[in-house]
Amino acid sequence: MPTGQVYNPGQDEELVTELTACKAKCLRYNQLPSGAEKKELLKEILGQSGENCHIEPNFWCDYGWNIKVGDNFYANHNLTVLDAGGVTFGDNVFIGPDCSFYTSGHPLDAARRNTGLEYAYPITVGNNVWIGGGVRVVPGVTIGDNSVIGAGSVVVKDVPANSVAAGNPCRVIREITEADKNSDLNWKK
């Protein structure tokens, strides 16, 4: 799994056990009120978390230990992270509601797919990234530092640093420039 090779998670007892345990922790996390216990449980779920990490419920992931989160991380409601391939979020990342990060995929050939095989490629989100609501990120994608991903985008290719990108499939619309420091917050300009 960690090497990007094809594997069958349903036939690996260790993975099934880890997946089941993580889902139970996520369920508990989603039911807890805000407070110290909830913060501690999130640290237990995630493989690495920086200072000021907050994820609104509902939050679901597969293993948890394969997620690294930097400082000042905020994710709005309904974050899903299928982290078999590993997901790294940098510092100062803001994620809108209903976003998903999928590191796992399946063979195109139906016969192989039907045996339960899958692969997993890492996703990396740089520092100072804002991801709008309803975004989907697929296996193997890197989103560069200081970028903004528009709501509803499906990110299927890498996004370079300092970019505004949006759409399905997501594409770079423009670079973020010095003029944006004084803008009226409208990313379409």
Q: How is 119-155 classified by DSSP, letter by letter?
A: EE--EEE-SS-EE-TT-EE-TT-EE-TT-EE-TT-EE
Residues 34, 122: Cα–Cα separation, whole Å: 30
Spatial CB neighbours of 169, under 8 Å, sequence gap ≥ 6: 154, 155, 156, 157
77 catalytic residue (yes or no): no
Residues 50, 68: Cα–Cα separation, whole Å: 8
103 to 41, 61, 84, 121, 156: CA distances (angstroms): 23, 11, 6, 5, 11
Selecting among 77, 106, 136, 171, the annotated active-site residue is 106
Q: Which residues are catalytic?
A: 106
